[in-house]
Structure 1
């Protein structure tokens, strides 16, 4: 059995993963889903990685999973803990030395959003989070997620270069959400091969897939641990 180390995205908490955790634990796996430091504007990406490493403790057979902004933290953790697999779920893919604040323009994100918004009538990039983030999440869960929003990430973490000199030598997978209105699917279909040299797996879900399709996401995550 594996230990799944689940790293949340910007504004979120470890709670984001609770439905996926229940699925994985029911199958005999262990899970760790810490809430990363929030409200600390000098916290760095390394501080976030430190918090995850501390939460993992001495657990072994690790699958490190990062969602959204967690894509900047997950590779740091996977390298330090020598994970068996690294999974990015609708996540930002950093390049060595790239600050998260620069990622948006470096990747052509804004143009991708404008193009997709022109096709879907403005749903992509919409200011209403119930349209752009939680469109397929049960309303009660979406409301709870909104109430639990936290001040994360910090200004310091957004402006400092990503500290790794190269992508970690860990088997890497990417889960693309086909109905994502925050990161357009066409954007990641281009960026994932460019930056990781792999083809993403796809799931019929919006950006917050751990809340909308927890069983299907758990199926994918568990499958990655079966592949050498």
Structure 2
């Protein structure tokens, strides 16, 4: 049995992964999704990673998956635990010494053409589900103050020694496909895998995403 460690993005929560968790558990796997300590302005990137590591506990046979801003956290988790694979799901790819706040300019990510949150992030998610997730995440975001986590340099000197895959979502309007292909090539030197779906593919295509995650395990 594999444990899938699921890390949410900025402004999100563990609830974002609940449909994928159900799909993975139906396939006989375990899941760990944890709310990152974004309400603590003094929490740094290692604190975020350690919150995930504590939730993992003594579990082994791990696949770590991160969404969006969680790309800054997942490699730090893999520096703390032994993982069979690291999966970045339409995620930011950090460079050593780069603060999350600086990533936007340094990565060359183009500005978004959409302003409405549904149009930008959730355009292929059923509206009732999108509204339910937004209400949940926005309630948590009201207490969010990521001051230190977004401003401190990413602390690793190099990418962790763990097999890494990147999943591009072809309908993503936030991290657009052309940008992601270039970003992943420049930062990781790999060609991303691709699937349909918006930035929140874990809500619009949970079955396909779960099947992908199961397939990346080296023993699958």
Structure 2 segments unaligned to the other structure (5+ residues): none
Q: Residues 166 and 153 of structure 1: is their aligned pair in 2 closer, same or farther, counting only changes over 3 Å?
A: farther
1:116 aligned partner:
none
Instruction: Answer whether contact 1:11 1:153 (CA < 8 A) is retained.
Output: no
- The number of residues matched between the two structures is 216
Q: Quote how far apart the aligned CAs of 1:38 are.
A: 2.6
Instruction: Answer whether contact 1:10 1:153 (CA < 8 A) is retained.
Output: no
**Aligned counterparts, 1:116-155, within 5 A:** 124-149=112-137, 150-151=140-141, 152=144, 154-155=146-147
Q: Give yes or no for the alignment of 1:28 onto 2:28.
A: yes
Q: Quote how far apart the aligned CAs of 1:126 are.
A: 1.5
Q: Residues 18 and 7 of structure 1: is their aligned pair in 2 closer, same or farther, counting only changes over 3 Å?
A: same
Structure 1 segments unaligned to the other structure (5+ residues): 114-123
Give per-residue Cα distances to partners, 1:38-96, cap 9 Å, x unaligned. 32222111111011000000000000000000000000001210211000000000001
2:191 aligned partner:
199
TM-score with structure 1 setting the length? 0.92
1:42 aligned partner:
42
Instruction: Give structure 1 regions of 4+ aligned residues with deviation exceeding 6 angstroms.
Output: none
Instruction: Answer whether contact 1:2 1:62 (CA < 8 A) is retained.
Output: yes
Q: Quote how far apart the aligned CAs of 1:153 are.
A: 6.4
Cα RMSD of the aligned pairs, angstroms, is 1.3
Q: More deviation in 54-63 or 193-202?
A: 193-202
Query: 2-side partners of 1:187 and 1:24: how far apart?
Result: 30
TM-score with structure 2 setting the length? 0.95
Instruction: Answer whether contact 1:96 1:163 (CA < 8 A) is retained.
Output: yes
2:206 aligned partner:
214
Query: 1-side partners of 2:80 and 2:96: how far apart?
Result: 16
Q: What SS class does the counterpart of residue 136 from structure 1 fall into?
A: coil
Q: What SS class does the counterpart of residue 65 from structure 2 fall into?
A: strand
Q: What SS class does the counterpart of residue 84 from structure 1 fall into?
A: strand
Query: 2-side partners of 1:125 and 1:93: how far apart?
Result: 22
2:54 aligned partner:
54
